[in-house]
Amino acid sequence: MKKLILVFIVCSSAATAHGQNMASTNLKWEADQTTDMQANVAKPYVGYFKTLSNQSVEWVQKAGQIMATYTVVSMEGTWADINNIGSVVYVLTRNGKTVHMKFEKTAAGRFVTMIFPTNGNTEIKFRISSVTILP
């Protein structure tokens, strides 16, 4: 009986780790490189994003200082298991401005793409790469 309970606990833990859903899980997205997509220039970067399920996203850098907290307005798409290839776009707001953040996994790796609108018809886009996901 003890073996059966132990097997159940191990299987339950593995299922949770492998079936993490962006809309219902808090995750930490650590990164070590950023790319200005307009200039196509990559630079070293130290920081991370914390996705707090479908409620908010925290942008943390400078030795752990929270730079910005965004409120989730909506999520475009679904990504049932972050261990598989997929993506989801968070539509966020902060100080009355809308920002889009795309979290994705492709065959090339994991990425976070931030899209900031400007006063004109242009957007500022940055891609955070070399991303590691932590629970």
Secondary structure class of 10 (helix, strand, coil): helix
- Enter the tokens of residue 5: 């309970």
pLDDT in tens, 73-121: 999 988 888 889 999 999 999 999 899 999 999 999 888 999 988 877 6
Q: In the predicted model, is pLDDT for residue 5 greater than 60?
A: no
Secondary structure class of 18 (helix, strand, coil): helix
pLDDT in tens, 37-77: 888 899 998 889 999 888 999 999 877 888 899 999 999 98
Query: Structure pTM?
Result: 0.77
**Mean pLDDT of the residues in the chain:** 80
The pLDDT, as a whole number, for residue 117 is 82
Identify the burial level of 101 via C-beta atoms within 10 angstroms of its C-beta, where 0-12 means exposed, 13-18 middle and 19 or more buried: buried
Cα(6)–Cα(106) distance, integer angstroms: 35
Residue predicted with more confidence, 12 or 30? 30
Give the DSSP H or E segment for 6: helix 2-18
The pLDDT, as a whole number, for residue 132 is 80
Check the CA dihedral 12-13-19-20 and report its sign: positive
- Enter the tokens of residue 34: 């950023």
Strands 123-129 and 109-117: antiparallel
The pLDDT, as a whole number, for residue 19 is 61
> What domains, with CATH codes, occur in the chain?
20-134 (2.40.160)
The pLDDT, as a whole number, for residue 135 is 67
Q: In the predicted model, is pLDDT for residue 4 greater than 60?
A: no
